[in-house]
Structure 1
Amino acid sequence: MNEKWIVNVSVATVWTSYDSPREIDKKAISNPVEIDEWLDGLSYETRLGLHNQNLVQTQVLFGQEVIVTNEKDGWAEVIIPDQPSSKDERGYPGWIPKDQLQRQHDWKISQGPVAVITAKSATLFSESDEPLMELSYQTVLPVVQELDHWVKVKTPSGFGLISTERVKIFQSKDEIPKGNGHDIVLAGEAFLGLPYLWGGMSSFGYDCSGFSYTMCKANGYTIPRDASDQAKAGKRVELEKIEPGDLLFFAYEEGKGRIHHVGIYYGNGKMLHSPKTGKSIEVIPLQGTIYEKELCAARRYWQDTEE
């Protein structure tokens, strides 16, 4: 029996352990998730705690598959195949409330047409036109039927409708076209001003590597989830030969220590990135900043798609 576990909330936060969430995180571990309300309820200190107290690992979107490896107290220990990681060769590990997952016997995301959300977000409606939830950019769902102004999609718990204006339809996941470096920059520009979120992998908030991962994903490239792994894959680019869309990596000890940040090269000596807790996605010149001193490597994941 080809049974799969599918994420059944708009965005599931993946915790370091089943006992990581705090009282203030209740809205993030419910079903339905109240992601905006959760984020609005976090102060600078409690947002920072997601990182400093090692509470959160990553996030997964509605309709993504996870592999369940263990269960405890209503929680599932999972692996995320879509997020390559040196932590586990099968994918990114962590814990998700079991309530946020749904077992599916016929989840055929790899066969047949898919709808990819290309707007910053999109409302999923029931077949009777009731709003069900707000979905993130780059949510991918199987297409059941194309209607005049709607796409009928399969969801982990049934069927739903999304406005055709918010999605693009591809004949299969493999047919999502590969963009070039400028396309990666263009995708990222849409999120200027979005507040940083540690572990963030959705358009409700990205961390630095979640941002670079998603903008590459939007252009047909699956890259490692974390900055340290992203810096080891892809094509190595000399720092004096960087082009827009290349990923730039930054390390402590003026570039000699551990990699702690990644940004997207914007062109003209500037970087597009999701900086840190308390700040928002921005374009900045590198010259004269701490980033100029810490820049240690560049990698290219895109292909030149121009004929």
Structure 2
Amino acid sequence: MLQTESTRWVCTVPVATVWTAPEKIREVDAEGLGKTPNINKWINTMTAEESRDMVDSNRVQSQLLFGEPVMIDEMADGWAKIAAIWQPSQKDERGYPGWVPIDQLKEVEALDELGYARVVSQMAQLWTEDFKPLLVVPFNTMLPVKELGEFIRVQTPLGDAFIMAEQAEVARGFNQVEKGTGVDVANLAATFLQLPYFWGGMSSYGYDCSGLSYNMLKANGVIIPRDAKDQAAEGHEINKDSQQDWHIGDLLFFAYEEGKGRLHHVGIYYGNGLMIHSPTPGKAIEIIELAGTVHEKELCAVRRFVENEGAEE
């Protein structure tokens, strides 16, 4: 670990991709790298085959949001080997491991005495101290609070900045967000309908299946593992064969070989036999009916992370 007790290394760009290894990058990935990555352009530039190759070639592990802290194990040739400490994983007990370009990280003063401002809108504008636009950051970005008001002053790796109070909520810690209900989880996921699937995606530019479940629960006060396989090993086990026992907001897990093979997908139960999920490259977040689909045959587990189901308005 290269940081000290008084400092931490954090992500300096709106979204930094965590790669399996530096040699996994391709020419088409240039827009996702550097000090000013353009995630929208990167996603839109890729062909269907290149998007699928992200999955088939295991190029990407996860993503970091602006200001998200990491532990650094080593630096070499412009890359840092990191553990994303806010993303639990069986791959590393400290947090999700992978590689990030060094120029997308910065060492800053460790600060969290006043808690964190969590972005609640799909995108939010950060402003400089003289109220010029600084950066647009995605949903669930969490930044240390320095001062409260109509505009919240936050610490960022680019210096102090302001965010409109209506675009953020303040939590005492990254894992101390106010807890929501199962209905809150499902309804929040529905605000991202038609957002493109993106392998390894952890931002409101594009989620993968477990990125969606992780972020919807994180926004409702529950930190779960980053990957679907790890998620399925936690939570409260619910009888998968008794749909009447499922709650809205439960996580549904799917495996090949009609539920007996390798686990490969997760969705959020939407009630009434429906599921909301981020399906596969080339598609977008959608609500589907489980009956009569391959998912019905592949269901292998149901897990509950939010005990209070809540009620629809």
Give TM class, smaller chain.
over 0.9
Which residue is equivalent to 2:284?
280
Deviation at residue 173 of structure 1 after TM alignment = 3.9
Read off the aligned partner of 2:167 and give its amino acid letter.
Answer: R
Instruction: Please state if 1:138 is matched with 2:140.
Output: yes
Deviation at residue 19 of structure 1 after TM alignment = 1.8
Query: Is the CA contact 2:249–2:309 (under 8 Å) kept in the aligned structure 1?
Result: no
Query: Is the CA contact 1:211–1:273 (under 8 Å) kept in the aligned structure 2?
Result: yes
> Which of the numbers 97, 111, 114 marks the counterpart of 1:112?
114
Which residue is equivalent to 1:184?
185
Deviation at residue 124 of structure 1 after TM alignment = 1.4
Q: How far apart are the structure 2 equivalents of 1:14 and 1:275?
A: 21
Q: TM-score by structure 1 length? A: 0.95
Q: How far apart are the structure 2 equivalents of 1:70 and 1:161?
A: 33
Q: How far apart are the structure 1 equivalents of 2:254 and 2:172?
A: 38
More deviation in 16-25 or 273-282?
16-25
Q: How far apart are the structure 2 equivalents of 1:268 and 1:174?
A: 31
> Which of the numbers 69, 72, 75 marks the counterpart of 1:68?
72
Q: How far apart are the structure 2 equivalents of 1:178 and 1:113?
A: 16
Aligned ranges 1:1-307 → 2 under 5 Å: 1-2=4-5, 3-104=7-108, 106-109=109-112, 111-148=113-150, 150-173=151-174, 175-239=176-240, 240=242, 241-304=245-308
Query: Is the CA contact 1:122–1:162 (under 8 Å) kept in the aligned structure 2?
Result: yes
Identical amino acids, percent of aligned pairs: 46
Structure 2 residue runs without a partner (length 5+): none
More deviation in 203-212 or 131-140?
131-140
Q: How far apart are the structure 2 equivalents of 1:71 and 1:59?
A: 18
Query: Is the CA contact 2:274–2:290 (under 8 Å) kept in the aligned structure 1?
Result: yes
Q: How far apart are the structure 2 equivalents of 1:96 and 1:175?
A: 27
Q: 1:301 to 1:23 in 2, by over 3 A?
A: same
Query: Is the CA contact 1:178–1:303 (under 8 Å) kept in the aligned structure 2?
Result: no
How many residues align? The count is 303
CA RMSD of aligned residues (A): 1.3
Q: How far apart are the structure 1 equivalents of 2:159 and 2:265?
A: 39
More deviation in 33-42 or 227-236?
33-42
More deviation in 270-279 or 32-41?
32-41
Read off the aligned partner of 2:26 and give its amino acid letter.
Answer: R
Q: How far apart are the structure 1 equivalents of 2:43 and 2:195?
A: 12
Q: How far apart are the structure 2 equivalents of 1:68 and 1:118?
A: 28
